[in-house]
Chains A and B, each alone.
Chain A
């Protein structure tokens, strides 16, 4: 019944083409570095968006899950000598268990209790990472070994021969991050179109109505909370291997706020919207470096103005405008949203 213009554009191929174009247009270590980080954060918020946009719940502690993934990988590979893949899987399992334990009692309640709980949990994890220096390196941070699969090491400082061409480590990492983002989107889209996704949209619409027609609402909300936490953990692990050095900064409340801001800015419930949100929010500090003294002020101002004038987020608002200027026959059936 809902006929929206963007849904006719096949999103995944478009995203793949854009990801392919980036290294062609901006083949430079500096831009590739930013693009890699943007892709990893974008994949994180695609997961967070499942929770915010489809289950109508807000997590104010997602940075802690990201940091647990990062530190889990760093500690298991560094201190205990594990290889990266089992380490990141183990960290993700730990995060899933934690999210399940906290989410299970709290998601039975209505209202914004999950935001309070995740806020508390997130800050506690940040404080623990800061204080337990013997394990985490404390405020100074901890180095992380490069990512490797079956003895093949991926480091930004190396060069690789692929089909006779020389590929820089930075480009190789960008390719990995791009593939991860595509995978993250693909999995998210499939979840949204699955029975789980339908149940979740029902929850977002009216929880009582959903319950009346037999949807086990708290079960689905818990499931999606755990999935979004695992997204954050996995991307945190990759982020740690990529940057090679992590600090407790990853776990801070400010970082959690940044993640949730990306979702709301890009458009809650819009997978591609939140990717655009990630690109904009992470590029903004780069653009504002010339105003270094006013950077924080302008950042806050831009955030406020966008939310005041585009409360549904960038992509939904813009595609709504596009829809309004579309021929009227589309409009008459697309008005519902």
Chain B
């Protein structure tokens, strides 16, 4: 009974950590540019698929992951430089459609290069699972949780201790004021897209031993990451992490105790409930709309 609950909790926290990383990516880009980057999910796919094909070429695992993350970072920067920056005068809706175009393009490209099959990366540790109080825990889950924790800490330090991080924060708080203080807004936005791509790729690489990967996994993972960010109050870093974990646990409990058919509906039901009862999310700021 308790073991069963623990089992669901492990699996919920694991997927939750992945959602948290994706949600952080959405939050970063949203804060810097007010764009909801629907291509965010594709970087998860790229992280997993690129690691996989580099492994296939005989590159050792840590290097393969590093190169896959580098590839995603370059693509993230290119996405901003080639697609978002040239259209920065446009309506936010238009920018969002551009990111949707980019996500379709990246998915199409992945389909041409890697085909339509599902793949799994090997687990990072030799031993695949351990037993904790009657429940099975994948060692990969520990990797996912560890990496997520490290990244969250690194981001927190980056935003509070470095000048560049503070510049991003300043831009998200007040674009005009930041510009007047000498922050190069376009550079900051590009950095946000790059960092978001890196977060996505890391999530993709550590998750694919458990979740499998294929050219089209980015859609659902991206949407759920977005829901997690919205639950936390789009724009809040702490909110993104809490939102991701909450969503992961809620999904696992629904699949375990209610119906696995409706597992995917949980995220979208949650977003409706949040919007109806606390539209600013759990940690959203109470900003007043300026005229």
Q: Is A55 an interface residue (CB 8 A)?
A: no
Partner of A117, one of B92, B96, B223, B275: B275
Q: Are A300 and B275 in contact (CB under 8 A)?
A: no
Partner of A300, one of B108, B219, B223, B272: B108
User: Quick one: CB contact mask for B225-268 with A, threshold 8 Å, 1 for yes?
Assistant: 00100100000000000000000000000000000011011011
Q: Are B105 and A116 in contact (CB under 8 A)?
A: no
Q: Which of A193-210 contact B (CB under 8 A)?
A: 206, 208-209
Q: Are B291 and A206 in contact (CB under 8 A)?
A: yes
Q: Are A301 and B93 in contact (CB under 8 A)?
A: no
* Interchain CA distance A296-B105 in the complex, whole Å: 7
Q: Are A307 and B101 in contact (CB under 8 A)?
A: yes
Interface of B (DSSP majority class): helix
* Interchain CA distance A33-B250 in the complex, whole Å: 45
Distance from B291 Cβ to chain A, minimum over Cβ atoms (Å): 5
Q: Is B125 an interface residue (CB 8 A)?
A: no
Q: Please, which residue of chain A has its CB at the minimum distance from the CB of B38?
A: A257
Q: Which of B64-113 contact A (CB under 8 A)?
A: 83, 86-87, 89-94, 96-98, 100-109, 111-112
Partner of A131, one of B92, B101, B262: B262
Distance from A238 Cβ to chain B, minimum over Cβ atoms (Å): 27
Q: Are B271 and A303 in contact (CB under 8 A)?
A: no
* Interchain CA distance A193-B72 in the complex, whole Å: 49
Q: Are B94 and A264 in contact (CB under 8 A)?
A: yes
Q: Which of A108-135 contact B (CB under 8 A)?
A: 109-113, 116-117, 119-121, 123-124, 127-128, 131
Distance from A97 Cβ to chain B, minimum over Cβ atoms (Å): 16
- In the complex, what residues of A have CB within 8 A of residue B89's CB? 311
Q: Are B264 and A127 in contact (CB under 8 A)?
A: yes
Q: Are B271 and A119 in contact (CB under 8 A)?
A: yes
* Interchain CA distance A307-B100 in the complex, whole Å: 11
Q: Which of A51-107 contact B (CB under 8 A)?
A: 52, 58, 102, 105-106
Q: Are B269 and A131 in contact (CB under 8 A)?
A: no
Interface of A (DSSP majority class): helix
Q: Is A298 an interface residue (CB 8 A)?
A: yes
* Interchain CA distance A206-B268 in the complex, whole Å: 31
Q: Is B289 an interface residue (CB 8 A)?
A: yes
Partner of A311, one of B90, B111, B272, B289: B90
Q: How large is the interface on B (under 10, 10 to 19, 20 to 34, 35 or more residues)?
A: 35 or more
Q: Please, which residue of chain A has its CB at the minimum distance from the CB of B100?
A: A257
Q: Please, which residue of chain A has its CB at the minimum distance from the CB of B79?
A: A304
Distance from B218 Cβ to chain A, minimum over Cβ atoms (Å): 12
Known A119-B223, A311-B90; contact A296-B264, beta-carbon cutoff 8 A:
no
User: Quick one: CB contact mask for B8-44 with A, threshold 8 Å, 1 for yes?
Assistant: 0000000000000000000000000000100000000
Q: Are B279 and A304 in contact (CB under 8 A)?
A: no
Q: Are A297 and B98 in contact (CB under 8 A)?
A: no
- In the complex, what residues of B have CB within 8 A of residue A208's CB? 289, 291
- In the complex, what residues of A have CB within 8 A of residue B87's CB? 307-308, 311
* Interchain CA distance A264-B95 in the complex, whole Å: 10
User: Quick one: CB contact mask for A294-325 with B, threshold 8 Å, 1 for yes?
Assistant: 11111111111001100110000000000000
Q: Is A242 an interface residue (CB 8 A)?
A: no
Q: Please, which residue of chain A has its CB at the minimum distance from the CB of B97?
A: A264
- In the complex, what residues of B have CB within 8 A of residue A253's CB? 219, 223
Q: Are A307 and B94 in contact (CB under 8 A)?
A: yes
Q: Are B108 and A260 in contact (CB under 8 A)?
A: no
Q: Please, which residue of chain A has its CB at the minimum distance from the CB of B107?
A: A296
Known A52-B93, A131-B262, A308-B87; contact A123-B223, beta-carbon cutoff 8 A:
yes
* Interchain CA distance A294-B110 in the complex, whole Å: 10
What is the interface of chain B, defined by CB distance below 8 A to chain A? 36, 83, 86-87, 89-94, 96-98, 100-109, 111-112, 219, 223, 227, 230, 261-262, 264-265, 267-272, 275-276, 279, 289, 291
Interchain Cβ contacts under 8 Å between A and B, 28 examples: A102-B272, A106-B276, A120-B227, A120-B272, A123-B265, A123-B268, A124-B272, A131-B261, A131-B262, A253-B223, A261-B100, A295-B108, A296-B108, A296-B111, A299-B104, A300-B104, A300-B105, A300-B106, A300-B107, A301-B101, A303-B97, A303-B98, A307-B94, A308-B86, A308-B98, A311-B87, A311-B89, A311-B91
